[in-house]
Amino acid sequence: MGSQLLEQMQERIMQSRVAKLKQMYPDMDIAQLDRNEQRIMPKSCGGEGKRFTLKGKLVYLEKVQNKLFCTLADRTGLVGVEMEDMLTNIEIRQGQLLCIIARLKCAPDGSLFCEARGITMLKDDDPKLREIRELPEKKPPRQQGRRACRNYWEKGVAVSWARLKMTYKLGLLIPALYLVLEPQLLKRLTLGSLGPTLGMALFVLVFMTGRQVINQYGNKAQGSTG
């Protein structure tokens, strides 16, 4: 029951989050970023750190420890995308067309890259995406202009696909369920209305401490690993 409840809550949170972000932050082209455009710059760089949407083709993927980093081509250049904070279970493959809700982050070497906060798969047969679909898949250079193409400050392993999943501290889920259900079923504690409130707080903590990790990965010429 706990696993199904987590999946349902995760799906509702993700849908409302993506809808709200798309409404608040319309498409902005990261390729046109300059020093006069500070809204989407990281706060550490003097910006507001606002989110934006980015459409493109995954031309390169690499696994860095247990995180997935992708290089997205959008006809104007390449941009590195960290696939870590999307709150969803998903399989990502090289060559896919994606719309990513992202925010800019600053790499240790000072270059910029994106952190994915939501993702939508685009249809390969959409005629409007023909130019993006025909972009070549290749290993990017170390850096292109002011856009970070890959996490080259850490050692990565090239992959062609990866399956991502959310992991949670399930040890907190049992007491959370107990506290939520206790007034109606168990009636063993004397917390009163505080019990369900504390239980819901623990539910929120479970989601806040969730991490997106690579469950499986591999290359076209190889089987699955992980």
Each residue's pLDDT tens digit, 102-116 = 888 887 777 778 899
Q: At residue 170, does pLDDT exceed 60?
A: yes
Q: Strand, coil or helix: what is 23?
A: helix
The Cβ of residue 184 has, within 10 Å, a number of other Cβ atoms equal to: 8
Q: Give the up-direction half-sphere exposure of residue 106: CA atoms within 13 A in the CB hemisphere.
A: 12
Beta strand ranges found along 65-210 (DSSP E): 67-73, 78-83, 90-93, 97-106, 112-121, 143-144, 147-148, 157-159, 161-167
Comparing 179 with 52, which gets the higher pLDDT?
Answer: 52
> CA 97, CA 100: separation in Å to the nearest integer?
10
Taking only the tens place, the pLDDT of each residue in 80-103 is 899 887 878 889 999 999 999 888
Nearest to 9 by CA among 223, 222, 217, 210: 210
Quote the tokens at residue 138. Answer: 């290749």
Quote the tokens at residue 50. Answer: 């606002």
Taking only the tens place, the pLDDT of each residue in 3-46 is 677 777 777 777 777 777 667 666 666 655 555 677 888 888 88
User: What burial class does residue 216 get, using C-beta atoms within 10 Å of its C-beta: 0-12 exposed, 13-18 middle, 19+ buried?
Assistant: middle
Taking only the tens place, the pLDDT of each residue in 112-136 is 788 998 888 998 888 888 999 999 9
pTM here?
Answer: 0.72
Q: What is the pLDDT of residue 211?
A: 84
Mean pLDDT of the chain: 78
pLDDT confidence band for 162 (50 / 70 / 90) = very high
